[in-house]
Amino acid sequence: MAVATGKAGAARFEDWEHRICRTFVPLQARCDGTAGFSGGVDSAALGSVVLAAVSASHAVVERTRRLIRQDDPELYKFGLQVSGSSVIEQDDRQARLRPGDLAVYDTSRPYRISFSDDFRMTVAMFPRKLVRLPEDHMAGLTAVRLAGDSGLGALIAPLLKGLGGELGTATTVIATHLGDAVVDLVTAAFAQQLRQPLDEDGPASHRALRARVGKFVDDNLADPALSSKTVADAHFVSVRYLQKVFEAEGVSVSAMIRSRRLERCRRELADPRSREVPIAAIGRRWGFPDAAHFSRLFRGTFGVSPREYRKTVPGGG
């Protein structure tokens, strides 16, 4: 009789593993013993979001590099621990979740989830491109616990829990709007988390922010919309805070942008390969649409006009 029970448990576990793979992405699942195993997977599509309620008596689920190479749809999974507990591991971080806690993880990188006995989790899965936050910043937030009893987590947790209990009841139109709402709330929650470490008033935090801003400015100098506001928005801080951070450097962000743009113009004017490019076109390329204004700024910085500077370059006459 014990053998029969074990075989039945193994069959239930195998069926559960197949169902989580079909619902999400290819995964490997295991447990210490399948005798008496029970589990369930219920899911529904909310527009671009797959929402699923996953439960089991106990299990370990893993996404390996080999499975990622076989199939990588580039998705985020956002999980709410409804009952029991779990440990989510990704990128050498661990998020220990208890009921009400949330965490995000990325299907394009290996991860492991170890569940306690008798757990239930509601998981929202959606394309990474829907989260309008820099992927390199989001990469630092995977497998990080988000408390469900404060901040935006207190809004998301009840929503996910309620949706997980009502799978399949919404009409197509309502489902799409619900999916959009989930993605928007998740994005807002992680934008808030990204903002927190940058708002710490410490020298190390300021240096790190200045370094990130410098790289961002260099990468976007040709964008005519580049400004203190776009830089602040890209780094999830206010313009006022950004200005405060740069006060120690004795320069404003606007002045830094202007200075680096002028230096790019100077380099291009000195480049023999750009000899035939009109000076006004070079100015426009680097964010100076007004030729007269560009000439005045250039002279004020380098002591000569762009035309005079080009004549000083060998072969530039």
Long-range contacts of 4-13 (CB under 8 A, 24+ apart): 5/35, 5/36, 6/34, 6/35, 9/33, 9/34, 9/35, 9/36, 9/37, 10/34, 10/37, 12/37, 12/38, 12/39, 13/37, 13/39, 13/59
pLDDT tens-digit readout, 23-50: 999 999 998 777 778 899 999 988 889 9
pLDDT tens-digit readout, 85-122: 999 999 988 999 999 999 999 999 999 999 987 899 99
Fold of 203-312: Arc Repressor Mutant, subunit A (1.10.10)
CA of 138: how far to CAs of 21, 87, 196, 295, in Å?
Answer: 24, 19, 14, 41
* Band (185; pLDDT cuts 50, 70, 90): confident
- The phi and psi torsions of 228 (rounded to 5 degrees) equal -60, -40
Quote the CATH superfamily of domain 2-197. Jelly Rolls (2.60.120.10)
* Band (200; pLDDT cuts 50, 70, 90): very low
* Band (314; pLDDT cuts 50, 70, 90): low
Indicate whether 216 pLDDT > 50. yes
Q: What integer pLDDT is reported at residue 198 of this predicted model?
A: 39
Q: How do the domains of the chain map onto residue ranges?
A: 2-197, 203-312
Q: What integer pLDDT is reported at residue 15 of this predicted model?
A: 94
How far, in Å, CA of 73 to CA of 53, rounded?
A: 21
pLDDT tens-digit readout, 252-292: 899 999 999 999 999 889 888 888 899 999 999 999 999 99
Q: What integer pLDDT is reported at residue 155 of this predicted model?
A: 85
Q: DSSP letter string over 67-119? A: HHHH----EEEEEEEEES-EEEEETTEEEEE-TT-EEEEETTS-EEEEE-SSE
How far, in Å, CA of 107 to CA of 22, rounded?
A: 14
pLDDT, greater one: 196 or 262: 262
Q: How far is CA 62 from the centre of its chain?
A: 21
Q: What integer pLDDT is reported at residue 138 of this predicted model?
A: 83
**Average pLDDT of 158-184?**
78
Say whether 203-312 and 2-197 share the same fold: no
Indicate whether 214 pLDDT > 80. yes
